[in-house]
């Protein structure tokens, strides 16, 4: 390997480095072969790239996600430190271990589950059609700004019971909030983040008070009603959960739809198969999640000495599990870089696993399964705009496009 460039370490692996961000697969493939449990001293973590290691770590319920339990120099602590200017750390379920995690997730899942999504499916289709109606008659448009971005925000806002007039404000807050995961953000992004947090918090606190007096059929009402063994969510826990549903669900679903539309436009043979057989739609969405996952990595923390891939992990040490690398592991998937919607083994770890498996997976899948085929059904002659470069977003952890211009042939 001596004739190759040195292995990227540190920040480069967080996708801030343009070379890595535009095409990380080559680096990840090399890491998986040469150093699959890579000790990233710069950022204080182990970086995992093999499917089996990533799966073992994300599904292990004795590992922690609580940054307060991490070693002082670990990656988890850096995220905490970066968020200090925002005030006291108030973890959502994403950063809580049992028993708090089990309790909150149990109560939230009473309100937000597969049944709630299935009931909402016709409305998702209607919202999708309305967005497409607005694009009819145009020569070209940006799939991200005018389709993939508004859809999830309108859907979750309607599910929560947010008024239509508050939608634009909601979108701005949610976009600013996505910087919460960015350890290297600019001071002005931190300031925007603080304003957005206050805006969200005040809005939801008011909405919860209203629902306590008069329940509706929306998700906030269901969260207010959720009860188990005489236990309920506090107002603050509901506010934090609503905020999490927005920051965890909007950008990610936008990226899933955007990455999917791009993959199909770049692979006309796969698009033709999808058009010929709509039953392939669920498979196609899983293949998009495997090949180009909207969240490229998740993390866990060892509370006790632990071993992964023959490497000893110390208590308090952080592990970053690259779900992007895991989805391209030739030990798991044959010809892993090939985009193939008829692949026999579609398994991926794009929604993480174990106790923290993405709670919004049914909603994200429903939106992508409706939005991607409907776009090509309504606009069969859609093509990539050859004049527009494909540019990736500059938010680490998230993997998506800033814009995707298409035109009609
Ligand atoms: C394609 C879209 C999405 C992707 C790729 C994605 C990915 C993820 C990942 C990787 C995790 C962490 C899992 C782990 O560490 O094991 C997660 C957790 C979570 N996601 Fe999603 N997500 C998506 C959409 C959504 C949506 C639409 C919602 C809700 C509206 C949502 C809500 C959540 C919540 C609440 C958690 C925390 C679960 C827990 O800690 O118990 N996600 N998601």
**Backbone Cα Rg of the chain:** 21
Residue with CA nearest ligand 1 atom 11: 358
Q: Six-digit token pair at 365?
A: 């899948």
Q: Is the CB of 320 under 6 A from ligand 1?
A: no
- Output the pTM of the full model: 0.94
The structure tokens 């779900």 sit at: 323
Residue with CA nearest ligand 1 atom 16: 352
Average pLDDT estimate for 121-144: 96
Of the listed ranges 130-144, 171-185, 251-265, the least confidently predicted one is 171-185
Q: Is the CB of 301 under 6 A from ligand 1?
A: no
Selected residue with higher pLDDT from 238 and 23 = 238
Average pLDDT estimate for 76-86: 79
pLDDT tops 80 at residue 280: yes
- Residues 25/336, Cβ–Cβ less than 8 Å: no
Residue with CA nearest ligand 1 atom 29: 360
pLDDT in tens, 376-407: 999 999 999 888 888 888 777 889 999 999 99
Give the model's pLDDT for residue 22. Answer: 64
Task: Report the separation in Å between the CA atom of 91 and the middle of ligand 1, taken as the mean of its atom positions.
Answer: 15
pLDDT in tens, 281-307: 999 999 999 999 999 999 999 999 999
Reduce the DSSP state of residue 336 to 3 states and report it.
coil
Nearest to 134 by CA among 121, 123, 150: 150
Give the model's pLDDT for residue 216. Answer: 93
Rounded CA separation 396/105 (Å): 26
Residue with CA nearest ligand 1 atom 39: 356
Q: Is the dihedral of CA 84, 85, 86, 87 positive or negative?
A: positive
pLDDT in tens, 144-199: 999 999 999 999 999 999 888 888 888 888 778 877 777 667 788 888 888 988 89
């Amino acid at each position: 390997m001596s004739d190759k460039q040195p292995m990227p370490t540190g920040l480069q692996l967080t996708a801030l480095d343009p070379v890595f961000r535009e095409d990380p697969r080559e680096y990840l493939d090399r890491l998986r072969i040469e150093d699959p449990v890579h000790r990233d001293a710069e950022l204080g973590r182990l970086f995992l790239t093999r499917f089996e290691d990533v799966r073992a770590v994300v599904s292990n319920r004795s590992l922690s996600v609580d940054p307060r339990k991490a070693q002082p120099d670990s990656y988890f602590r850096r995220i905490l430190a970066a968020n200090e200017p925002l005030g006291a750390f108030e973890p959502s379920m994403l950063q809580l271990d049992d028993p708090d995690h089990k309790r909150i997730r149990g109560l939230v899942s009473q309100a937000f589950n597969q049944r709630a999504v299935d009931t909402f499916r016709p409305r998702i289709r209607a919202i999708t059609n309305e967005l497409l109606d607005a694009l009819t008659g145009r020569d070209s448009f940006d799939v991200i700004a005018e389709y993939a971005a508004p859809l999830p925000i309108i859907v979750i806002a309607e599910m929560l019971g947010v008024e239509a007039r508050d939608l634009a404000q909601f979108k701005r807050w949610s976009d600013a909030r996505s910087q919460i995961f960015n350890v290297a953000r600019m001071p002005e992004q931190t300031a925007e983040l603080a304003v957005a947090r206050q805006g969200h918090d005040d809005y939801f606190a008011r909405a919860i008070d209203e629902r306590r007096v008069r329940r509706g059929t929306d998700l906030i009402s269901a969260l207010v009603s959720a009860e188990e063994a005489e236990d309920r969510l506090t107002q603050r826990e509901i506010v934090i959960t609503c905020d999490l549903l927005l920051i965890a669900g909007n950008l990610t679903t936008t990226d899933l739809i955007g990455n999917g539309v791009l993959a199909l436009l770049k692979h006309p043979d796969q698009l033709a198969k999808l058009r010929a057989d709509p039953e392939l739609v669920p498979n196609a969405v899983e293949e998009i999640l495997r090949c180009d996952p909207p969240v490229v990595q998740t993390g866990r923390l060892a509370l006790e000495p632990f071993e992964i891939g023959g490497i000893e992990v110390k208590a308090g040490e952080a592990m970053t599990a690259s779900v992007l690398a895991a989805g391209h592991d030739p030990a798991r998937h044959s010809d892993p870089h090939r985009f193939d919607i008829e692949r026999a083994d579609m398994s991926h770890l794009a929604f993480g696993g174990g106790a923290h498996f993405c709670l919004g997976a049914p909603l994200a899948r429903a939106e992508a399964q409706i939005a991607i085929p409907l776009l090509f059904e309504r606009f069969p002659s859609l093509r990539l705009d050859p004049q527009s470069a494909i540019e990736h977003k500059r938010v680490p952890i998230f993997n998506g496009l800033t814009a995707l211009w298409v035109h009609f042939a």
